[in-house]
Structure formats: C-alpha cells, structure tokens
Amino acid sequence: MTDKSKVDQLVDWVDERTGVKALMDEALNEPIRGGARWAYVFGSALLFLFVVQVVTGIVMTLYYVPTADHAHASVAYIQKAVPGGALLRGIHHYGSSAMVILAVAHLAQTFLYGAYKQKRELVWVIGVVMLLIVLGFGFTGYLLTWDQAAYFGTKVGTSIAGEIPGVGPIQQKIMLGGTELTTVTLSRFFTAHVFLLPLLLALLAGLHVSLFRKAGPAGPYHNRDDNKVDRFYPKQVFFDSVAMLVVFVTLVYLAMKMPAELGPVADPSSDYLARPPWYFMPLFQLLKWFPGPWSIVPTVVLPGVIFGALFLLPFLDRKAERNPFKRPIASLVLLLTLAGSIGLIFLARHQDRTNPEFAEKLKKQEEEMHAFFKAPFEPQVIGATTAMVGATGAGGSGAAPAAYMEHCADCHGANGQGEADLGPPLTGMSAKPRRTAEDLFKIMEDARAYDLKKPMPASFPDISEADKKAIVEWMLKLK
Ligand code: HEC
C-alpha cells in the first residue's frame, strides 16, 4: 500500500466508491471484430459534434434573447460585438450542417455494411429517429436569428407542414402557437431547439450507444478476418480522435473564412423570396414539380416512403448477407437516393441563378444581407432600459447614450420623441433660440435659468461632464 503514489491512492479511493475502473475498462476494451477501421469513425464524430453544438449553443444562450423584439439584435451582438462571438456562431452554424452530413454518412455506412442486421434492429431504428431530430434542430435553429431569411424560410416551412392532409393544420398551429409567425413561435422554436430536442437526442444517443455496445460491432461485411479482433483502445480511439480533430478544424476554418451570415431584421410586411437551408432543398425543388394538390407527393408520400422504408428496413431485410455487392438493389437504391438529393440541391441552385424572375431579387437580397452584415453593431434601445449590453458603444448611432437612458428617458422617452409623455419631445433643438449645444449643456446644470419648469429637474449633479456632452450631441441629432 505504502509504495503507491498519492494519485494512485486517490484513483483507488474514487474507484472503491464508483467502480470507475471497471467502467473505463469496459469502455476501452470493447472488442472490435475484424479490427479497427476508418469506416467506423462517423458515430464518434457525430457524438463529438453534438457536444460541440451543445457547448457553443450554451455560450450563445448567455446572450441570446428569444423574443421577436430582441432576437435579431442579440444575434447581431453575438456576431459583431462579443469577442469570439463570430467564431462561436460560425462553428455552431457549420456544425449543424456537419451533423446532417455525418448523420447521413453514418447511416449510409451502416446501410452498406449491413450493420443493421443480426439483433441490431433497435440500434438502427433509434438512429433513424436521431436523424429526424437532427433535421428538427436545423428547422428550429434556422428561425432563431430572426432575420429576413429566417423569418420567411420558416414561414414557408411551417405552411408546408400545414398543408399535410389531416394533421397538417393542427401541427402548424402547434408550431406557430397561433395562426401567424410571431414571438410565440420564436419562443416555441427556441424551447424545442435548446431544451426538448437536445434532451431527446441525449437520451436516444445514450440508448443507441448502449444497445450498440450490447450487440457489439458488426465487423466487416465479408466476415473474412472475423478472428482478427482489436480493442477499442488504442487503435479505434486514435482513428476516432483524428476524425474529431478533422471535424473541429474544418468547422473553425469555415467559421473564420466564411463567417455565418446574418441579414437585416425580419420585416413581415416585405415580399422576401424565401429559400430553405440546403438540406431541405430537395423537398423545395420537388415542390416546384408537384403544384397544388400534388404537393403531398414531396411533402408526405416521398418522405413517408423514405423514412418508412428506413424504419422497417431491419425487419423487412432478414437475410444474413451483408456484402453490399451481393445486395445490389439495396445498394443501388441508397446511392440513387443520395445522388438524387444532391442533384436536386444543385438543380434548385441552378434554377435560382438562371431564372430572370428570381435571380435579380435573390441577388438584391444577398446584397442587402452583406450590407447589414458588414455594418458595425448598432445597439438597440427599447423603453427606459437599454436592451443590449452594448449600449455603451452608442456614440454616433441612432441610439441614446446610457446616461440619457438613465436620467432623461423616463420623461422624454427612449427616442427623445416625448413618447414617455412626462416631457416634451427633444427634437429640432438646434432650430430653437437659446438651444445651442452650449445652452443644452447649461440646461442640465440649471434648467430654471432657461425658464424650464417642473417636473424638469433643475440640475443633474450625478451626470459627468463627458456624459452630458454625449447627451447634447445626441439631442442635436434628433429628428
Ligand atoms: C421628471 C421628468 C423629466 C426629466 C427626468 C427630464 N426632463 Fe427635461 N423636461 C421635462 C419637462 C416637463 C420639460 C418642459 C418644461 C417646461 O418647458 O416648462 C422639460 C424640458 C426639457 C428641455 C427643453 C425642451 C424645449 O422644448 O426646449 C430640455 C432640453 C430637456 N428637458 C432636457 C432634459 C435632459 C437632457 C434630461 C436628462 C439629463 C431631462 N430633460 C430630464 C421633464 C423632464
């Protein structure tokens, strides 16, 4: 006992109380039939991505405000003002696409290797549910920025959901929280995005992994080197770690090279031309070909057939054969579905570029988005309190200085338009006699000298000279 180091003693102490050593043993010594492989990295990479999304997402919720009034400004604040915010948001943005890509890759690999067979039906079925949840994350997350693209994209998305015969209208009403896309909708999407879906995904991922561990990895499809067995550690752990690193570096690279965009705030009265995120593009493209009552083909029939087939696959396909080359029909169907989806995405993009009716409008929308994106952050001022933490940086913009918000807004209104009713509007000051910059400054020192009566306070000893100057400067600019 005595020759054990302090660290070992601590480990023993913890182990006696938790059984952590046995757990680690079980986790790392998992036998991998046929040996470790690069083909098996997708699951671990997905789990890693989920953690990345959770971490970046949690940090963003420290700033994000899920209401129609503030959502967009808070995202702009994260993007433009929070140190590292753009990187964080970029990682989260590209992470969501990466999750869709890796989930499909994971599914395709499992499918081609026939790894859903032999007592792995439930692992597969849970996996398909998780794919749907990943798409749900994309759908709910898209609205949260509350910019033009988000608002109108979601409007189209929810109305498509509403057109599904039978459940459609109720489903749409539940999603929207009414009949219109409002702050209630945003609240619901936010709750789904940060509470319900993550909780569900975490539970299912736990179940997925534990059932998978129970069944054990299926191993290579040809069963040739079946007697070759690696342990999970170290070889597969190494492969998985490299995959995670590649994923992470790619996300950081994309986030820095092509920052996640943000357009101007949603304006429900505008006629914005909506486009869905890329992974809903195939559905969007098909909708063009199935107008009117036929729209149920792409919205209900096709997804129903695809996901129905995915769910039932392990129960319908009971043959032991796993080699993709000896299951030509299954392999072909998968490849055609994937190629078809990718083709539809490119076709939709191509039509947008070449259709004269859309091309110009989309180009204009894109320019507006870039213009907003490049502009510096403008704090948003609402009511008597500054809505955004960034209000101190108000100089030169339309928003009032913080000192004004604290000492004057309650009477003269947050925008100086007299909207608070206790004091007159402060507009057009320079046009009035005895209201030059100097006068305005002196009014704050001795209002009575200017014949200003109560309730206008006689002086503001609490406001610093610099703040008074900032207020004067701002007042003179009011229109
Ligand atoms: C408690 C309410 C109240 C507060 C707080 C207050 N004001 Fe006033 N203010 C008034 C009222 C009422 C008048 C009109 C007085 C009059 O004309 O008799 C007025 C008048 C003025 C005028 C003259 C308007 C004109 O038409 O020429 C200026 C300038 C002004 N306020 C600036 C400020 C500034 C700057 C602050 C904050 C540092 C401030 N006020 C805080 C109530 C308020």
Residues 135, 241 within the same domain: yes
Cα separation, 435 vs 429, whole angstroms: 6
At 269, the amino acid letter reads S
Cα separation, 97 vs 70, whole angstroms: 25
429 is a domain residue: yes
Residues 268, 413 within the same domain: no
Last residue of a domain, one of 370, 394, 410: 370
CA-nearest residue for atom 16, ligand 1, is: 452
102 is a domain residue: yes
Residues 386, 365 within the same domain: no
Last residue of a domain, one of 320, 350, 370: 370
CA-nearest residue for atom 20, ligand 1, is: 456
Residues 331, 433 within the same domain: no
- What pLDDT is recorded for position 2? 58
| CATH number, residue 184 | 1.20.810.10
The answer to whether 153 touches 274, Cβ cutoff 8 Å, is yes
Residues 170, 86 within the same domain: yes
Q: How far is the CA of 192 from the centre of ligand 1 (A)?
A: 46
Q: How far is the CA of 425 from the centre of ligand 1 (A)?
A: 9
359 is a domain residue: yes
Residues 388, 283 within the same domain: no
Of ligand 1's listed atoms, the one at least distance from the Cα of 432 is 27
| CATH number, residue 400 | 1.10.760.10
8 is a domain residue: no
Residues 83, 181 within the same domain: yes
The answer to whether 284 touches 348, Cβ cutoff 8 Å, is yes
Instruction: Specify the number of domains making up the chain.
Output: 2
- Which pLDDT tens digit goes with each residue over 86-139? 999 999 999 999 999 999 999 999 999 888 988 899 999 999 999 999 999 999
Q: Which of 410, 440, 456, 465 to mutate to test the pocket of ligand 1 (most atoms within 8 A of CB)?
A: 456
Q: Give the chain's residues under pLDDT 50.
A: 383-397
Q: How far is the CA of 388 from the centre of ligand 1 (A)?
A: 25
For residue 133, give Cα distances in angstroms to 83, 203, 222.
31, 12, 32
400 lines ligand 1 (CB under 6 A): no
Residues 399, 341 within the same domain: no
- Which pLDDT tens digit goes with each residue over 169-196? 999 999 999 989 999 999 999 999 999 9
Residues 324, 392 within the same domain: no
Around Cβ 355, how many Cβ atoms within 10 Å?
12
376 is a domain residue: no
CA Rg, the chain, in Å?
A: 29
- What pLDDT is recorded for position 431? 80
At 423, the amino acid letter reads G
434 lines ligand 1 (CB under 6 A): no
Q: How far is the CA of 422 from the centre of ligand 1 (A)?
A: 9
- What pLDDT is recorded for position 29? 85
460 lines ligand 1 (CB under 6 A): yes
Last residue of a domain, one of 370, 396, 418: 370
The answer to whether 102 touches 45, Cβ cutoff 8 Å, is yes
425 lines ligand 1 (CB under 6 A): no
319 lines ligand 1 (CB under 6 A): no
Q: How far is the CA of 435 from the centre of ligand 1 (A)?
A: 12
- What pLDDT is recorded for position 291? 85
Domain that holds residue 58: 14-370
6 is a domain residue: no
426 lines ligand 1 (CB under 6 A): yes
1 is a domain residue: no
- What pLDDT is recorded for position 385? 44
- What pLDDT is recorded for position 7? 92
What is the value of pTM for the model shown?
A: 0.72
Per-residue burial over 58-68, b if 16 or more Cβ lie within 10 Å, else e, is ebbeebbbbeb
- What pLDDT is recorded for position 33? 82
Residues 291, 328 within the same domain: yes
> Which of 4, 102, 452 has the alpha carbon at shortest distance from 15?
4
Residues 53, 141 within the same domain: yes
Residues 366, 344 within the same domain: yes
180 is a domain residue: yes
- What pLDDT is recorded for position 304? 92
Is residue 433 reached through a cis peptide bond, with omega within 30 degrees of 0 on the bond before it? no
Q: How far is the CA of 389 from the centre of ligand 1 (A)?
A: 26
CA-nearest residue for atom 17, ligand 1, is: 452
CA-nearest residue for atom 8, ligand 1, is: 456
Q: Which of 434, 452, 476 to mutate to test the pocket of ligand 1 (most atoms within 8 A of CB)?
A: 452
Q: Which two tokens stand for residue 227?
A: 């007697």
